[in-house]
């Protein structure tokens, strides 16, 4: 269930990253003196800075006993920004994409911490390798399917569905796994 949550989240990640510059074209924020390509790439860079902030926040929140719940919250929290991205116009596109990046990238430290907890230390390298293969392998299908949809609204609505599926898988992980209780300090 955990790897399935990661794979469906990887689908969202790959499609989001592949089409982010194209999505930023619709923000209509370009100042004079910038080429379309340069400015949309600058906006994409700003969006990814929000992703780094999200990872840092999640890293601070990661604690044994709450990882399963955090993963559920973060994966379901992808749905509203994706739905907003499906209808956003103008500058709202930039804001919605920044919010998605902040929330979406929070899953990485949480997910990796869970992999470390559920895979025995003697098999951890294999566990991370398999997980990455699934997340980035299955995830690589995201741009393929998203590229078949002509409208941004359709693309991000589809990604919202995959984010919800990922959140449901995380709910399954939470239901099936009894979290470790942290030892007293």
Give pLDDT tens digits for 73-125: 999 999 999 999 999 999 899 999 999 999 999 999 999 999 988 888 899 88
pLDDT recorded at residue 65: 86
pLDDT at 183 over 80: no
pLDDT recorded at residue 93: 93
- Residue written as token pair 């399954």: 172
pLDDT recorded at residue 84: 97
Alpha helices of 62-151 — where are they, by DSSP H? 67-76, 79-87, 91-104, 107-118, 124-139, 141-147
Distance CA 112, CA 121 (A): 13
Question: Which whole number is the average pLDDT over 174-182?
Answer: 68
Question: Cβ contacts of residue 150 below 8 Å, gap of 6+?
Answer: none
pLDDT at 171 over 60: yes
Rounded to the nearest 5°, which phi and psi values hold at 37? -65, -45
**Contact of 91 with 143, CB cutoff 8 Å:** no
Distance CA 112, CA 118 (A): 10
The region that residue 32 occupies, defined by phi over 0 for left and psi between -120 and 50 for alpha, beta otherwise, is: beta
Closest CA relative to residue 141, chosen from 14, 9, 4, 6: 14
CA 10, 42, 98: angle at the middle one, nearest 5?
50
Question: Which whole number is the average pLDDT over 28-47?
Answer: 88
Name which CATH class applies to 2-176: mainly alpha
pLDDT at 182 over 80: no
């Amino acid at each position: 269930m955990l790897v399935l949550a990661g794979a469906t989240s990887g689908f969202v990640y790959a499609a989001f990253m592949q089409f982010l510059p194209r999505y930023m074209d619709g923000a209509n924020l370009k100042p004079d003196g910038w080429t379309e390509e340069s400015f949309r790439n600058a906006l994409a860079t700003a969006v990814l800075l929000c992703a780094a902030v999200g990872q840092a926040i999640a890293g601070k929140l990661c604690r044994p006993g709450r990882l399963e719940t955090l993963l559920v919250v973060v994966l379901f929290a992808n749905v509203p920004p994706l739905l907003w991205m499906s209808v956003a116009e103008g500058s709202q596109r930039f804001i919605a994409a920044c919010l998605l990046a902040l929330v979406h990238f929070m899953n990485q430290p949480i997910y990796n911490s869970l992999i470390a907890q559920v895979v025995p230390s003697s098999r951890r390298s294999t566990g991370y390798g398999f997980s990455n293969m699934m997340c980035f392998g299955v995830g690589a299908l995201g741009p393929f399917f998203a590229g078949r949809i002509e409208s941004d609204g359709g693309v991000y609505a589809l990604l919202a569905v995959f984010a919800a599926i990922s959140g449901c898988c995380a709910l399954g992980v939470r239901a099936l796994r009894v979290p470790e209780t942290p030892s007293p300090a």
